[in-house]
A and B are shown apart, each in its own frame.
Chain A
Amino acid sequence: AQSVAQPEDQVNVAEGNPLTVKCTYSVSGNPYLFWYVQYPNRGLQFLLKYITGDNLVKGSYGFEAEFNKSQTSFHLKKPSALVSDSALYFCAVRPSGSARQLTFGSGTQLTVLP
């Protein structure tokens, strides 16, 4: 069975500092990996995905994520955080080449302090 772990419920970072939101996964075979963001009173919004190719994936709003197969991780990063980045972030995984559905993590609340 596939699973996703987001070990931190809450991440706080000062505006202008780099941020990292952690995600590790477990899946049979090669993974498809995703990050979504949820702002208050809104649905989830797609940020970026890893399917194949370059391990560093760039997405919306200056976010990027690095796929590390040996560590089964897909951490979300941004070089310089903005207060407007404060939101709930979800990591998700599904096996490649499969019709199986996405499995989401429990989410990490990111707060960027001014």
Chain B
Amino acid sequence: ETGVTQTPRHLVMGMTNKKSLKCEQHLGHNAMYWYKQSAKKPLELMFVYSLEERVENNSVPSRFSPECPNSSHLFLHLHTLQPEDSALYLCASRPGQGTNEQFFGPGTRLTVL
């Protein structure tokens, strides 16, 4: 285990629902990431929160909304999703500037009906 946890592990939601994904790390890392993983596609970076920068991928629809209340927690708020948003959503963290490896959580398998 990497020390990065994600809840829930599985989520099924309708297009009108509102839900949130949670990511947590108590590793002292100061950068956290959301990725979308779809079958046979490259991992898509959605959002980054770190001491150095906050990055948003401009191609991510506004129905995805990140929140980072502190350096240990990261949320992804979901509303009015579409079936094509069904994917594995991965959270990752990185120790700090100059350190390159990212540590990934197990992911949340999201299905939008």
Contact = CB atoms under 8 A, between A and B. Distances in A.
Contacts of B103: 46
Contact of A102 (B6, B45, B105): B45
A99 B53 contact: yes
Interface stretch (B14-22, B36-44, B79-87): B36-44
Interface string B43-76: 1010010001101000000000000000000000
B52 A104 contact: no
Q: From DSSP, what is the main secondary structure of chain B's interface residues?
A: loop
Interface residues of A, number: 23
A83 B45 CA distance: 31
Contact of B100 (A34, A43, A45, A106): A34
Contact of B90 (A9, A32, A44, A105): A44
A34 B101 contact: yes
What range describes how many residues of B lie at the interface?
20 to 34
Contacts of A36: 104
Given A41-B106, A44-B90, A99-B52, A94 B100 contact: yes
B106 A49 contact: no
Contacts, number: 51
B102 interface: yes
Contacts of B41: 106
B42 A43 contact: no
B104 A45 contact: yes
Contacts of B101: 34, 46, 49
Given A4-B42, A32-B100, A106-B42, A101 B55 contact: yes
A94 B98 CA distance: 12
A103 interface: yes
Given A46-B101, A46-B102, 16 more contacts: A4-B42, A9-B40, A34-B100, A34-B101, A36-B104, A42-B106, A43-B104, A43-B106, A43-B107, A44-B92, A45-B104, A46-B103, A49-B101, A94-B100, A105-B42, A107-B40
